[in-house]
Copies of this chain bind each other. A is one copy, B any other.
Amino acid sequence: MKVRNLLGERLKDVSDESQIESQILMTKGGYMKPVASGIYSLFMPTQRISRKIQQIIREEMDAIDGQEVLFPVVMPASLWQSSGRYDTIGSELVRFTDRGNNPMVLGMTHEEAAVHLANNVARSYTQYPFMIYQIQTKFRDEPRARGGLIRVREFTMKDAYSFHTSQADLEKYYERAYVAYERIFRRVGAKNVIAVKSDSGMMGGKISHEFMLLTDIGEDTLVLCSDEGCGYRANMEVAECLTEPYCTTPSELKKVHTPGFKTIDEVCGFLGKDKRQACKAVVYRENLTDKYVIAFVRGDLEVNETKLRNVLKKEIHPATEIDAESGIVAGFIGAYGLKADATVVFDRSLEKERDLIAGANEPDYHYVGLDISRDIGKVEYYDIAKAAEGGICPKCGKKTLRISRGIEVGNIFQLGDRYTKAMGMTYLDADNTAKNPIMGCYGIGVGRLIASVCQESHDAYGPIWPMSIAPWQVEVCNLRVTDEKVRAAADKLVADLEASGVEVLYDDREVRPGFMFADADLFGIPVRAVVSQKTLERGVVEVTSRDKTLKTEFPMAEAPSRIAELVAAELEKYKA
């Protein structure tokens, strides 16, 4: 491929407030073009990267006995009604009616389609287990598309679904999928990917892992144990929060005047107490009913909304305003003497505290000396607080937790029988009874993976694509195309490389070397070969690597084979 014919434009600057380097560099490099919010067209280099990643994924899915199938993008609403998700999923699911007025949806995931395909054709236990997967376009109407290809509305995804006759068999397969995922991320050249326990969200099921590429710009917050022997890793959404009790000596319950002191910092500052001695109230409302929910956590902690949601089994949102008639006195909310029509949830950090500060449910007053069990009585405690830096690891028990950020580049779920049961899929077991198969599902977003690798592997000038997914393997720069000899030498180098199976991007434009190299940096091709009058005089080709670890010269005659060897050696690192 010649750069002069390649559609796309490299830019000097991007007028974008985005802080994400991968987005800036891929925009500057002409990798994609926005068509609408979160919807992109991809230029050739990006599509080549995508195809290579897809092929690696395909090989690894086939290696764990996957059968590649294809589900539709457009599905009848009835299919999603049969699982119950048509009603439970919000506006991220696109709904429309076709010309016959039938309600339809756009596929954002394909559990229903997978069960539909397998239903009635996997009737006997002898046909289990099996796994089907597809690589297909999905649409999820995200409210906040961001970060270029990181979070989009339309995306190419590999999604796989496995079917089993027992939980034990699912777990065995889940382990194989886990290992296959590790191989995929290694082979595409993503270096810092770790698996963390995660919340199953709308997918249902209990055990699930997210594969997270660690990066400061990640949207997800991760809780990791810094003790290497322990290895605890979880998404903040599900990470357990353990605390040591701060004050276990009971005290007298007393109302105190706290004029205008509303926040934990203000009240604790005024009273000269540590935040750990406060009982913090955070107010939410149920989405469906608008009913208030008050979450109480210890003053040094934050509420983890996902965990709270899982306790309530209801969708909620932070209350932005509080009605005067609600009985809730903002800034002075406390568990003792609370007279409000609200669901109350206590975090377990409060269970052993015997001397707490809490709002008195009237303006400008707080209680001190609150002991929940003594003063309020028996209440249920739940784990609804966020794990924090330096917190206690729930696995090894040491105060070794650290908080990181990551981009979710893949996920695996143990779904159980949620879908097969709802949709009435059964098989005849060895004991001649009909049973619902147990499912697992396994996803990887291809576009997000491209952007994530770029995020992890770039310098100030452009992406540094790993050899396994680079759009081309070698870029040949012809620095003096008007010189007949230079042209002939560069043309021959390109022809020889291509003849030996090397993928070459050839820049033979009449542009200044600085301009050509700036473009080459944006293309991010791992190996660069430069032919100029100077190199020709010395009978060599100048060869450098995009990551700057290599800078050498090969004699002209040997250059094609030496470069091909370089490419092959590099590819070897990413082999299965």
Given known pairs A92-B99, A137-B137, the reply for A41 and B69 (CB within 8 Å) is yes
Residue numbers in B under 8 Å from A67 (CB-CB): 1, 5-7, 43-44
Chain B residues with CB under 8 A of A153 = 74, 98
Chain B neighbourhood of A270, CB < 8 A = none
Interface window among A125-133, A199-207, A289-297, A397-405: A125-133
Q: Closest CB of chain B to A511's CB: distance in Å? A: 12
As for how many copies of this chain the complex holds, the number is: 2
Q: Are A74 and B113 in contact (CB under 8 A)?
A: no
Q: Judging by beta carbons under 8 Å apart, are B98 and A69 in contact?
A: no
Residues of A61-101 whose CB lies within 8 A of B: 65, 67-76, 79, 91-92, 94-96, 98-100
Instruction: Choose the segment among A28-36, A333-341, A342-350, A437-445 that binds chain B (4+ C-beta atoms closer than 8 Å).
Output: A28-36
A113 to B34 Cα, complex, angstroms: 11
Residue from A6, A44, A102, A134 having most chain B Cβ neighbours under 10 A:
A44
Contact of A72 among B1, B35, B69 (CB under 8 A): B35
For the complex, count residues of A whose C-beta is within 8 A of B.
66
Q: Is the interface of A mostly helix, strand, loop or mixed?
A: mixed
The answer for the CA separation of A128 and B121 in the assembled complex, in Å, is 52
Q: Which residue of B lies closest to A139 (CB)?
A: B74
Q: Decide if B118 touches A7 in the complex (CB within 8 Å).
A: yes
Cross-chain contact of A47 among B70, B72, B104 (Cβ < 8 A): B70
A72 close to B6 (CB less than 8 A): no
Q: Any chain B CB within 8 A of the CB of A513?
A: no
Q: How far does the alpha carbon of A204 sit from the alpha carbon of B420 in the complex, in Å?
A: 48
For the complex, is A9 an interface residue (Cβ under 8 Å from B)? yes
Q: Given contacts A99-B91, A113-B35, are A42 and B30 in contact (CB under 8 A)?
A: no
Is the C-beta of A143 less than 8 angstroms from some C-beta in chain B?
Answer: yes
Chain A residues 1-24 with CB under 8 Å of chain B are: 1, 4-9
**Contacting pair A41 B68 (CB below 8 A):** no
* A98 and B8 contact, Cβ closer than 8 Å, known pairs A42-B69, A44-B67: no
B94-A41 in contact (CB<8A): no
Q: Is A117 an interface residue (CB 8 A)?
A: yes
The reply to whether A47 and B69 contact each other, CB–CB distance below 8 Å, is yes
Task: Evaluate contact between A35 and B69: CB separation under 8 angstroms.
Answer: no
Say yes or no: A75 contacts B39, CB within 8 Å. Answer: yes
Complex: how many Å from CA A126 to CA B106? 41
**Contact A117-B44, Cβ < 8 Å, known A99-B141, A137-B73, A154-B72:** no
Q: Give 3 nearest A-B pairs by CB, closest first.
A: A96-B96, A44-B67, A91-B99
